[in-house]
Amino acid sequence: MESAFSLSQLWHHLGWPLIRLLFFISIGLLVANFIEALNWTRKIAFLARPLIRFAHLSPLAGAAFSMAFFSGVAANTMLSEAFAKGEIEKKELILANLFNSLPTYFLHLPTTFVITAPLIKGAAVTYIGLTLSAAVLRTLSISLISHFLLPPPTNNSEESQQTAVETDLQTAWQRTWKRFKLRIQKIIRFTIPIYIFFYILTNMGLFAWLQKFMAAHLSFLSWLSPQAMSIVALHVAAEFTAGLAAAGSLLADGVMSQREVILALLVGNILSSPVRAFRHQFPYYAGIFKPALAIQLIAYSQIFRLFSIILVTLCYVLFG
């Protein structure tokens, strides 16, 4: 009976999530390769064309930006494939990945709103508005930084991209499948052992210990009320929904104002994001990119994310 329970637990917490992750990576890889094989990258880059031009990014980065509204895996796979083939340099890869902050936010926005609105009611609009502002700020900042770090595209490269001939569907699919078979093998070799390793670390309680350690050392937030501190601690030590549930209860009882709840959730967001991002993103990032590059991309992403949310939090404190 115990062994059956263990096998069931292993399947639900390791086997099925890993299969689902590899499935979505495979779909992303197929979509990215198929779009490239059809020479459609310039067509789907229209969403970000003005910013792409200003940022001196390639149309491929614009295509990844557009894809990120529907699939973060497909967008990152597109960038990874371009980098592997030498179509973009590492600097542009990092900047393009950071540039996708806004569509990535919109991808998760419906879920966030559905969870947030019933619990904290009207405060959800302000909280989501502030986190959205942080995402917009990140994308605009990256476009400005990229404008100065990357050289403007040459006329020759622009002309070649404009005159790229579209490939028929059958030929494009043959190219896609050939490249997919080669690439997916490398992805599986990295993703499976790293995912299993992180599963073991999670079961050993490493990430839970890190979150509890952070929650227990929040004395520097003494300027927050005890009720707000409880929301922050739950946000960090448990999950986002635990902090939201506490915030909703305190708000409904009139113990805390909307302003206090929003501030507590923003602070909890700042403190909890780095550990959760590394825990959830690294296994699949390491499959799409090389592990060392995956760590760099996650680190840069979290640094920009922290600074942007800290900035909007300070603005809310001063002017909200």
How remote is the C-alpha of 242 from its chain's centroid? 21
103 occurs within a structural domain:
yes
Tell me the average pLDDT of the chain: 82
Q: Which two tokens stand for residue 54?
A: 């200003």
pLDDT digits (tens, 9 = 90+) for 226-271: 777 777 777 676 667 777 788 888 887 787 889 988 988 898 888 8
Range(s) of the domain holding residue 173: 23-319
DSSP, collapsed to helix, strand or coil, labels residue 27 as helix
pTM value is: 0.80
In this structure, is residue 50 part of a structural domain? yes
Is residue 299 a part of any domain in this protein? yes
Question: For 53-87, what is each residue's pLDDT tens digit?
Answer: 999 998 888 888 988 888 888 889 889 988 988 88
Q: Answer yes or no: is 78 within a domain.
A: yes
Residue 14 lies in a domain: no
8 in a domain, yes or no?
no
For residue 17, tell me if it sits in a domain. Answer: no
User: Is residue 12 in some structural domain?
Assistant: no
Q: DSSP letter at 87?
A: S
Tens of pLDDT along 128-162? 999 999 999 999 999 999 999 999 877 554 444 44
State how far Cα 287 lies from the chain centre: 15
Question: Quick check: 153 and 254 in contact, CB under 8 A?
Answer: no
pLDDT in tens, 268-282: 888 888 878 888 888
Q: Based on the structure, what is the number of domains in the chain? A: 1
